[in-house]
């Protein structure tokens, strides 16, 4: 069970997402199950239009990377291809292409 202390410290959606993004990055390194749970919770926020468009894009990329790390390469390739269509900056696009190449190789 995770405790969301960020909600108690701020009501600013931009600051709140940044804190959640940091927690998500930590979970990706330590516990993929918790990372997927947090992605699912953040997706509900995205459905309620409480996330800015840039945060929705970042969430899509995090989701694709979690799926890649869970070794579901077929789904990861689909998610990464959809991320390519989102017009990220060149550095992030290179990361997406690298992850897509890896997922394709493993699949």
Can you give the residue ranges of every domain in the chain?
A: 13-106
Residue 56 has pLDDT above 60, yes or no: yes
pTM tops 0.85: no
DSSP secondary structure letter of residue 4: -
Average the pLDDT over each of 1-15, 45-59, 90-104 and give the range with the smallest value.
1-15
Q: State yes or no: pLDDT of 95 exceeds 70.
A: yes
Average pLDDT, the chain: 85
Q: Rounded mean pLDDT of 25-46?
A: 89
pLDDT at 96 over 70: yes
In this structure, which CATH number among 3.40.50.150, 2.40.160.10, 1.25.40.10, 2.40.50.140 belongs to the domain 13-106? 1.25.40.10
Q: Give the C-alpha distances (Å, rounded to integers) separating 104 from 17, 36, 54, 93.
A: 31, 22, 26, 16
């Amino acid at each position: 069970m995770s405790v969301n202390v960020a909600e108690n410290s701020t009501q600013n959606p931009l600051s709140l997402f940044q804190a959640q993004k940091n927690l998500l990055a930590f979970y990706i390194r330590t516990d993929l199950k918790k990372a997927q749970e947090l992605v699912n919770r953040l997706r509900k926020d995205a459905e309620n239009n409480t996330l800015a468009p840039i945060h929705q894009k970042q969430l899509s990329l995090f989701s694709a990377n979690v799926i890649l790390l869970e070794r579901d390469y077929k789904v990861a390739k689909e998610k990464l291809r959809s991320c390519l269509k989102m017009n990220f900056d060149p550095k992030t696009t290179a990361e997406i292409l690298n992850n897509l190449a890896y997922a394709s190789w493993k699949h």
